[in-house]
Structure 1
Amino acid sequence: MAEQIEVRAAVYRGDADGRLGIERMRLDAPAHGEVRIRVRAAGVCGSDRHVIDGEWRVPMPAVMGHEAAGVIESVGQGVRDLSPGDHVIVAWHQACQRCAECTGGKPWACMRVRSNDSQLPDGTTRWSDVDGAAAWPYLAVGAMSEFIVVPDFAAIKVDDRVPFDVASLIGCSVGTGFGAVANNAEVKPGESAVVVGAGGVGMSIISALKLAGANPIIAVDVSEEKLAEARRAGATHGLLASAELPGEVAELTGGGANAAFEAIGRVQTMQQLPELIRPGGRAVFVGLPPEGQELRLDGLQLAYDGKTIIGSNYGGLVPARDFPRIADAYLAGKLPLDALISDRTGLEGVNEAFDAMRRGERTRTVIVFEDGETDQHAA
């Protein structure tokens, strides 16, 4: 039976400056139907920044991070399909697996999910601090840690040839971007598309659009550097964000894009999105704004032009189906996911990674736990 262990983790305790502390925390053994994973890579995502900048509320202290890939270290009773040594990607949206939405193939629409509240499916946590007080893994993952415990169905086995840093991004930014294109917008070959925001998720959308055969693919950002990166990822055009954007998109697409994606979570750009699509087009909200912000949309324009607004929750992913599908496309050279990673750092570099994100720098930073780095202690 695996024991409780002591691990290093990036922990948020409500610091007004949005700083994370690197602390020693305690992690229980996996319970029935759970696995403990040695994390090898964890992505630094904008959703985490919303929390540490005070825009989203979570239970605290919070072990941050939700993009993770690693190796199964131990399994609880009842786990049948995973074994120690398996390489896995972690799904942060841990649906109940039993409701009508889950059994109907829409786990992203599960109404009983508890991971959004940083709880495991049974409503508890396996985390505590060194004083024994309960701690909570962000989105029931807590990826910015040497080890994590998750339900077995949230650990998706992946081909060992996929590098851990790439695999970690499949668990959120890449998976979300891929799903927004393939599952939500259902983009067909030859359709035109525009992507507002060329960060990690936006770049993932662009890569997925290229794989889907979209043309043209228009990237929009405030950074010329990011637009250059977007072109390397598959964008055919790059436009600086401006009030003239709808007219520029209409000119390039002959009347508006078939599909438009907002990958920032900024109200102003979300409101502009329907203006970028043609009649009958789809506007997909992928980025997540701060809590409590409202959108103003022209209802007559949407109804008269038959435009569709789509909310993308986790890209409509079915992780057990879609994660291996994305990994296979990467291994076949069809998704150049390595290009999405702009920086790699150790756990101590997490605050600088968030600072760079706030400055609009970098595409995606990945925290990498090197071989031999982890110091595991029985508690």
Structure 2
Amino acid sequence: METQGAVLRGAGQDYELVTLEVGDPGPGEVLLEMAFAGLCHSDEHLRHANAGGRYPIVGGHEGSGTVLAVGPGVSRLQPGDHVITSFLPACGHCRWCATGRSNLCDLGATIATGQLPGGTWPFRLDGEPLGGFCMVGAFARHTLVSEFSCVRIEPWVALDTAALLSCSVPTGWGSAVYAGGVRPGDTVVVVGVGGVGVNAVQGAVHAGAQHVVAVDPVAFKREFATRLGATHTAEDARTAAGLARELSRGTGADVVVLATGALDVETTSGAVRCLGKGGTLVLTALADLPTEVTVSLLGNPLTVFEHRVQGALFGSCNPFRDIPALLRLHEEGRLELDALITRRYTLDQLAQGYRDQAAGETIRGVLVHG
């Protein structure tokens, strides 16, 4: 079938609207009609040629939609089901899935190229096979994905807010709750409170943090973070470091989550200054260049103060456990989703959406298909 989508033909180029061919679902595959797609900064990393992708490639990995058809052997889903796409597939039986770390599932090896687990390519453009970013390709109206990339939801769940549970919400939430291990009474600093960071704020509040400092140079984002539970704000990490020590009576932050759009040495070093003894630095952000050195720390303080540096992929969440759990929290009024969507865009407005994001004007922009 033919569908419309946004494609990157090469590194450093803009997204281009094209007509794509989408094949029929093969074994273990699912054909989706996408309803919404979140504008995540990771797709900008892909545009900058910093995500290791294979070009051309269909962008988008955060989304929601409806199952149109399933391939042989698919047992979890049927046509008509509503789903949230997980940008990290979870097979359920590799070493990582079997030990509760499904965010590291072996199937994730091809998320940058978009090749599906069976070795097939979901799209064709001018006869050439191509993948969808993170094996999803949510910037296409229709896409072919693995059943292991789909989390079924009830039909009454709003698909626009559901799309955010595909990436930004669990990534931020889990960075505080799982990777950071925030405990009641903790002092937490979140550096960068955009689409991911504001959810780290929500996670820290949920975990019982006494003080949550939201750090961002953009006043709109700082104010928004206070609406989600941040107790204090700061424009930069240096100011936040002093504030964290003041709030904790001199001890410093227990957990610092780095959720900026791009990670660099200066940002990381500033975050470390916020840490107290035994504190944890959670690296959720990615470098703009994969070969760039982003962490430069003095070893002695790391040892003497027992600081811990923890990477966080998808917030260390399990998509099939945590996406439904977060949805339940939203339904109970304990997790804000609706307000996170600050602007909506059509497919031909995709470039404008990312310009708005770069200007700090959105928390989460959402692409509306159809």
Normalised TM-score (structure 1): 0.92
Give percent identity, aligned residues only.
32
Per-residue deviation, 1:309 = 0.7
Q: Does 1:288 align with 2:283?
A: no
Q: Which amino acid aligns with 1:117?
A: T
- Secondary structure (helix, strand or coil) at the match of 1:288 reads coil
The aligned counterpart of 2:9 is 13
Distance 1:253 1:344 in 2: 40
Query: How do 1:202-241 residues align onto structure 2 when only pairs under 5 Å count?
Result: 202-241=197-236
Distance 1:175 1:263 in 2: 13
The aligned counterpart of 2:117 is 121
Per-residue deviation, 1:173 = 0.5
- Secondary structure (helix, strand or coil) at the match of 1:47 reads helix
- Secondary structure (helix, strand or coil) at the match of 2:223 reads helix
Higher mean alpha-carbon deviation, 147-156 vs 54-63, is at 54-63
Contact 1:115 1:121 in 2 (8 A): no
Distance 1:310 1:11 in 2: 33
Contact 1:233 1:339 in 2 (8 A): no
Higher mean alpha-carbon deviation, 273-282 vs 302-311, is at 273-282
Q: Structure 1 316/76 Cα, relative in aligned 2: closer, same or farther at 3 Å? A: same
Distance 2:211 2:14 in 1: 41
The aligned counterpart of 1:351 is 351
Q: Which amino acid aligns with 2:82?
A: H
Q: Which amino acid aligns with 1:86?
A: D
Query: How do 1:260-279 residues align onto structure 2 when only pairs under 5 Å count?
Result: 260-264=256-260, 265-267=262-264, 268-279=266-277
Distance 1:216 1:248 in 2: 10
Q: Structure 1 192/233 Cα, relative in aligned 2: closer, same or farther at 3 Å? A: same
The aligned counterpart of 1:180 is 175
Contact 1:175 1:315 in 2 (8 A): yes
Distance 1:124 1:12 in 2: 19
Query: How do 1:254-333 residues align onto structure 2 when only pairs under 5 Å count?
Result: 254=249, 255-264=251-260, 265-267=262-264, 268-290=266-288, 291-294=290-293, 295-333=295-333
Contact 1:162 1:331 in 2 (8 A): no
Q: Structure 1 242/94 Cα, relative in aligned 2: closer, same or farther at 3 Å? A: closer
Structure 2 unaligned spans of 5+: none
Per-residue deviation, 1:32 = 0.8
Q: Which amino acid aligns with 2:304?
A: Y
Per-residue deviation, 1:126 = 1.6
Q: What do the CA deviations read for 1:323-370 (whole angstroms, capped 9, x no partner)?
A: 10000001111001111111111111100011112223211100112x
Quote the RMSD (CA, aligned, Å): 1.5
Distance 1:69 1:364 in 2: 15
- Secondary structure (helix, strand or coil) at the match of 2:52 reads coil
Contact 2:213 2:233 in 1 (8 A): yes
Distance 1:158 1:351 in 2: 30
Per-residue deviation, 1:111 = 4.5
Q: What do the CA deviations read for 1:178-204 (whole angstroms, capped 9, x no partner)?
A: 221222122122212110001100011
